[in-house]
Structure formats: structure tokens, C-alpha cells
């Protein structure tokens, strides 16, 4: 894989630790927030993940950006994406489209259209890897019956799948087997294993650690 959770985590926390050392032994909350924002800006990210049907209607969508602040704005974007790509042949492999200031990587299977959107300066290979991870994970979750009917019957699992791939726009995981495994684990017992903490949970733990250090 081009991008995985483990490599992202190592990169992020190595950077975070070095910057904390350079600041002070007891960094202020504002210092921590500034470092977090600085690092997040340099991380590969996506603005939305869309799963539409063959008529452009929603099946499962998640947005990670305020570029589309209203429900109607989101629907209008989805219609524009569908209209721009509907006549292309993206069934054997992923295709790339540019729409306004966005890069969209997409692929079709049966009556489902998969899309990953990011800014026009994002690395297209990373976006293609995210799309492939999503596409393959859905295939595993649906036991290769990748069509609108089975997708709607398992909508909760598909939304969990997106959550395992992206958190707040930041790419966490692109390995389809890992994604599908986490979705299966979460749906079975309703809880995450410690080893499955996402970036948000890890940062919450870090905040607690630093808060305790301030009280010593």
C-alpha cells in the first residue's frame, strides 16, 4: 500500500514528539493545538467519499469538509460529479476527473459508482489507493455481491467501512483486508480494540497525559 495507518501514526507521533521537545518540557495547550494544526495541514486528506447508484442517487456518503455547508450543496455536488462521469468507462480500472478545484477518483461496478474527492493539489496515487481500499473492502463486506440492493441491506457496515478509512478527512487505512476486518470486529461486539485506536482517540490520550504532567 502507498499509505497505511501504521506509517501515518509513526510519522505523526515522531514529528509531534520532536516538536514538543523543541518547545519545552511542559508545552502549553496553545502550543499543542498549533502543532496539531500544522501537522494536519501536511497530511494527505480527502474531502468526501461517495457511493452513488447508477442514476446518481445516494447510497452512502460522508463529507469531511465544509466546502459544502448545506444539504442542498452536497446534493448539487453529487449531481455534478455523476453528470460529469456517467458516460465514462470506469469499470475495469479507476478514472480521474477534475471538477472546479477538486480531483475526483472514481470507479463503477454493477449499479454502484464509487468516488473519492480531494483538493486539486492532492496526490492522485494516494487518492487512487483510498478508492481501491474502499472498493475492495466493500466487496469483502458484501461477499462480492457488490450492487445497490446488498449495499442498502448492509448500509451500516459500509458507513463503518468509510469511518475506518478516513477520520475527519485524514486517511487512516487503505488495506481492504484490515478495513473489512475492523468493520467485522466492530459490528460483532460493538467496541474497538485498543490496537484499533484512530488518530482522534490517540490524541485524546495524549492530551490526558500532558494534562497530568501539568499537575505534577
Query: Quick check: 178 and 6 in contact, CB under 8 A?
Result: no
Domain count for the chain: 1
Phi first, then psi: what are they for 106, rounded to 5°?
-150, 160
Q: Which domain holds residue 149?
A: 1-216
Task: Measure Cα distances from 186 to 67, 87, 165, 202 in Å.
Answer: 30, 37, 14, 18
Q: Model pTM?
A: 0.71
Q: Which grid cell is 24?
A: 519545552
State the CATH number of the domain containing residue 12.
Answer: 3.30.450.60
- The tens place of each residue's pLDDT in the chain, 216 residues long, gives 444 444 444 455 555 555 555 555 556 666 555 544 555 555 788 999 999 999 999 999 999 999 999 999 999 999 999 999 999 988 889 999 999 999 999 999 999 999 999 999 899 999 999 999 999 999 999 999 999 999 999 999 999 999 999 999 999 999 999 999 999 887 765 444 333 444 455 555 555 554 554 444
- If you search the block for the grid coordinates 489507493, which residue do you land on? 129
Query: Quick check: 162 and 62 in contact, CB under 8 A?
Result: yes
Amino acid at each position: 500500500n502507498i499509505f497505511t495507518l501504521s506509517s501515518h501514526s509513526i510519522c505523526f507521533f515522531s514529528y509531534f514528539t520532536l516538536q514538543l521537545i523543541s518547545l519545552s518540557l511542559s508545552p502549553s495547550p496553545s502550543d499543542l493545538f498549533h502543532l496539531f494544526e500544522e501537522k494536519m495541514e501536511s497530511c494527505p486528506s480527502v474531502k468526501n467519499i461517495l457511493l452513488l447508484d447508477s442514476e446518481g442517487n445516494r447510497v452512502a456518503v460522508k463529507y469531511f469538509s465544509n466546502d459544502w455547508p448545506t444539504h442542498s450543496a452536497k446534493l448539487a455536488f453529487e449531481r455534478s460529479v455523476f453528470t460529469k462521469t456517467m458516460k465514462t468507462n470506469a469499470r475495469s480500472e479507476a478514472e480521474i476527473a477534475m471538477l472546479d478545484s477538486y480531483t475526483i477518483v472514481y470507479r463503477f461496478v454493477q449499479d454502484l459508482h464509487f468516488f473519492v474527492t480531494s483538493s486539486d493539489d492532492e496526490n492522485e496515487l494516494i487518492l487512487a489507493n483510498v478508492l481501491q481500499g474502499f472498493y475492495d473492502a466493500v466487496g469483502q463486506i458484501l461477499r462480492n455481491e457488490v450492487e445497490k440492493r446488498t449495499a442498502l441491506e448492509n448500509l451500516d457496515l459500509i458507513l463503518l467501512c468509510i469511518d475506518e478509512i478516513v477520520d475527519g478527512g485524514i486517511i487512516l487505512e487503505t488495506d481492504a483486508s484490515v478495513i473489512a476486518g475492523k468493520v467485522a470486529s466492530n459490528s460483532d461486539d460493538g467496541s474497538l480494540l485498543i490496537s484499533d485506536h484512530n488518530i482522534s482517540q490517540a490524541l485524546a490520550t495524549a492530551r490526558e497525559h500532558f494534562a497530568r504532567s501539568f499537575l505534577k
